[in-house]
Structure 1
Amino acid sequence: MITSNFAVKLNKVSFLKLKLWQTMRVIIDIRLTVSLLLLIALVSISGTLIEQEKSLEFYQKAYPDSPALFGFLTWNLILLLGLNHVYSTWWFLLLLALFSLSLILCTFTRQWSALKATNKWIFYKKPHQFQKLLLSSELKAKKIIPIINILKEKKYKIFQENNTIYARKGILGKIGPIVVHIGILITLCGAVLGSLTGFLEQKMVASGSEFKINSHLNLGPLSTLQSSRNWKVRVNRFWIDYNSKGSVDQFYSDLSIINDDDEELKKETIYVNKPLRYDGVTIYQTDWGISSAQIQIDNGNIFQLPMASLENNNQSKIWGTWIPLKNDLSKGISLIAKDLQGTMIIYDENGSLDSAVRIGMPLVINGVELKVHKLIGSTGFQIKADPGIPLVYTGFGLLMLGVIMSYISHSQIWILQTNHTCLIGGKTNRSQITFEKEIIGIIDSLECSE
């Protein structure tokens, strides 16, 4: 009875081992690995084409039910599949996990085994072993010592046993694929870490305002962002440089990092491609706008009116506001501006074009004197924290290094000296023509040494 139970348990263990091995063979199949890589690439492309982390209203407007983009892509489908935050969806992370597992198993079962086999000393002690080499030659009896000296000059590592020699070089070419796999895995880990623990925010801030980085964020599910972050950002000044044609050349934001006691911790002027970095957070300059206009009517007090971005068929940026001309708000005019240079357009209460006005220039309309003292700009920021960036850079560096190493040829040469002849042969994994020239050069050097 005990023997029977033991046999049953043994059969179960054998069955589990068999299933495990079969599963492993499927996972390390190069076809599965390539398929996963292509699928990850396609999903990543979709994340580039479909705007990420936008509001529900944005997707409803950009991807309506009718007409659907490409006949099927609607906002409902995008939200259902998580294509609005594709890089942090469970199914995309599962794809990365499967690809990483396949890569790890392939590295240990194939690349590492091949490297271990390469490190073994392999001596050819019988003449028929040279027949399987694509490149081999039979010479008259030669001495071993001149051959060793020639191989050393060509940077070969030499192993000798009696009358046979095994030489190799370019072992880095075998290590290269392993480094590539490690680089890919580290890059993927960095990307996953960033999507799970980082955060991203888009913000428009008026010049002269302050803001804290703790609200309305697209947080990763494991983000460590604390609402008690003890510093904030002040926009000291925002300005735009225009070129000779009147279009925007560059826009700038002068920022200060201040603590809760208004003490300045860091100050820096940022512009496109020159962000501010502080406490693991990077603030990029991405956009600009017009926040408000300072208006004066009939030499009264200066008051400030917010300006809103307006849609137009020309796709150019314009901002507008409504200026009341009476205290009861029964009459008013519209003010339109396209930049901060100071030229604005006035539309009357009927929506007809009335006149143009510049900053500081008084304008009489409907018996009322109007003066625009200042247009206040707003600056657009992308605020981002990504703890995975160092890993991504490290992994990408290893990936490039591994690719370069993989181009190094791994060459092997065998020599067997008998009483009457000297057999020499070799093989390489790439640069076959160069290797053939090297073997011919070795043979010529041996003949000249006689």
Structure 2
Amino acid sequence: MKNKYLTTIAKKLANLQLAISLLFTIGLIIAIGTIIEQDQSLNFYKQNYSDISPMFGFLTWKIIIFLGLDKIYTVWWFLVLLGLFAASLLSCTLTTQLPSIKTFKIWKFYNKPVQLKSLSITDTLDRGLFNSFAYYCNDNNYHFFRQNKKGYAYSGLLGRVAPAVVHISIILLLIGSTFGSLGGYTAQQFVPRGEITHIQNLTKFGNISSLPNDLSFRINDFWITYTKDLKTDQFYSDLSLLTNQGKELKRKTIFVNEPLLYNNIALYQTDWDIVGLKVKLPNNEIFQIPVKKITKGSRKFWFCSLPVDKFLGKTLSVVINDLNGQFFIYDSKGILLQQSRIGDSVYLSDDLNIQFLSFLTNTGLQIKSDPGINTVYLSFLLLMLSIYVSFFTYSQIWLVESTQKIIVGGTSNRAVLFFQQQFRKIFKRVTKVVR
């Protein structure tokens, strides 16, 4: 009784119209998720989806928060839809696809010559050529079976497996992406060179996510390479993953599109920044002067004031364009006084010189964890294999021996012209033996 009840549910879930409806609904919701900004603060939605001017005349921040449209890909009702779609595909696979493969392996003999007339191609052979025809079928990768005066051959059964593999790959994709959304996290951090830090400043955190307790990372070094015209070419961070006891687990120099990977955690190079300038004053005092970033169009500048008021009685400013070591010194009126480089001693007066020791830099990192990524990769691999396998043509040939002739007929699910050519080729080889 229980098995009958489960079978009934499985057949209802395997309904093609239900699967198409679920797929359409999921696609529509994903499209909505591309319109409404995801994972933003409550104030963001209040400002952009106010009650005064609702989007489309009805969509306000209250509706967005109530329905979970701000986290649409992890909200419970969207996950239920994904689960139903996966259950529909699984039911179709178990109740339709896999049983059909078993059916295709069953020997299907025709008993009467008239049954072969409806096939796409038919012909006749002289009696006595039954075994020769079977031999050349086997030579063309057909599996041939004989039962008294009847014969059956098939080729390309692997092509019938493709739909089931497609279903399995989509199910794995749904499982992997859901698990990644619920169990993954994303963090954005600016870390000074030489510092050790843990994962923090989370921008995304799944419902069942957890941070590693025994993991930190150190920025060993950071540098930038430049093109011939002194434009930024690439920026690099030398990273070490550490345990809480300071043991190095892995070390790698990362750059854009070349992350450090460790146990489903990826550290990406995303940005960089100058946060300070280290200088040495005449009295051997070493100062770390904070700088302020100014953005003008696509260009960035860093600005700071030198602490030389007690020496010169006026304020001097330093402007930095990039990390190539060059900087500019201006007076309070904006007049350029000097152009220098890191490591140089700059003489601001006869008895005052300042040595610029180094830039203080931050490297911008994105830390991502996706526990379902390997399952997603596996699903795409299976999907690509299924596309390849689907090109295998499933062909069938039947033979029925009458009192005078052997009636032969065949059909194919695709590449009909190729099958007909192959069919004629086998016939020519069989009849050639007779001659």
TM tier, shorter chain?
Answer: 0.7 to 0.9
The 2-side partners of 1:192 and 1:134 are apart by 46
- Residues 352-400 of structure 1: CA deviation (Å, up to 9, x unaligned): 46556433352649x9866543212211111122221221122211111
Task: Within 5 Å, give how 1:6-405 maps onto structure 2.
Answer: 25=12, 27-41=13-27, 43-44=29-30, 53=39, 82=68, 85-213=71-199, 216=202, 218-226=204-212, 229-296=213-280, 299=283, 301-312=285-296, 314-323=297-306, 326=309, 332=315, 334-345=317-328, 352=334, 354-355=336-337, 357-358=339-340, 359=342, 360=344, 362=346, 364=348, 372-405=356-389
What is the identity percentage for the equivalent residue pairs of Structure 1 and Structure 2? Answer: 35
Which one-letter code corresponds to 1:123 in the other structure? F
Q: In the TM superposition, what is the alpha-carbon distance from 1:423 to its structure 2 partner?
A: 0.7
- Residues 392-442 of structure 1: CA deviation (Å, up to 9, x unaligned): 122211111112111111111000011112111111111110001111112
Q: In the TM superposition, what is the alpha-carbon distance from 1:142 to its structure 2 partner?
A: 4.1
User: Taking structure 1 as reference, are residues 79 and 239 closer, same or farther at Cα in structure 2, changes over 3 Å only?
Assistant: farther
Q: In the TM superposition, what is the alpha-carbon distance from 1:260 to its structure 2 partner?
A: 3.2
Aligned-partner SS, 2:287:
strand
Q: In the TM superposition, what is the alpha-carbon distance from 1:168 to its structure 2 partner?
A: 0.6
Which one-letter code corresponds to 1:425 in the other structure? G
User: Taking structure 1 as reference, are residues 175 and 23 closer, same or farther at Cα in structure 2, changes over 3 Å only?
Assistant: closer
The 2-side partners of 1:33 and 1:132 are apart by 33
- Unpaired segments ≥5 residues, structure 1: 1-9
Give aligned pairs, total: 427
Q: In the TM superposition, what is the alpha-carbon distance from 1:285 to its structure 2 partner?
A: 1.4
The 2-side partners of 1:245 and 1:68 are apart by 49
User: Taking structure 1 as reference, are residues 72 and 345 closer, same or farther at Cα in structure 2, changes over 3 Å only?
Assistant: farther
User: Taking structure 1 as reference, are residues 29 and 243 closer, same or farther at Cα in structure 2, changes over 3 Å only?
Assistant: same
The 1-side partners of 2:254 and 2:366 are apart by 12
- Residues 202-231 of structure 1: CA deviation (Å, up to 9, x unaligned): 1111111110125646321112324xx223
The 1-side partners of 2:227 and 2:56 are apart by 40
Which one-letter code corresponds to 1:283 in the other structure? L
Which one-letter code corresponds to 1:171 in the other structure? L
Give RMSD over aligned pairs.
3.7
The 2-side partners of 1:296 and 1:82 are apart by 55
Match of 1:443 in 2: 427
Residues 197, 224 of structure 1: 8 Å contact kept: yes
Which one-letter code corresponds to 1:303 in the other structure? F
User: Taking structure 1 as reference, are residues 145 and 439 closer, same or farther at Cα in structure 2, changes over 3 Å only?
Assistant: same
Residues 280, 286 of structure 2: 8 Å contact kept: yes
Aligned-partner SS, 1:189:
helix
- Residues 61-118 of structure 1: CA deviation (Å, up to 9, x unaligned): 9x68699999999888776665654432334323322221221122233322322321
Q: In the TM superposition, what is the alpha-carbon distance from 1:45 to its structure 2 partner?
A: 6.1
Which one-letter code corresponds to 1:241 in the other structure? T
The 1-side partners of 2:24 and 2:331 are apart by 59
Aligned-partner SS, 1:291:
strand
Which one-letter code corresponds to 2:428 in the other structure? D
The 1-side partners of 2:229 and 2:55 are apart by 38
Q: In the TM superposition, what is the alpha-carbon distance from 1:238 to its structure 2 partner?
A: 0.5
The 2-side partners of 1:308 and 1:294 are apart by 14
- Unpaired segments ≥5 residues, structure 2: none
The 2-side partners of 1:247 and 1:69 are apart by 43
1:431 to 409, 415, 426: 415
Which one-letter code corresponds to 2:323 in the other structure? L
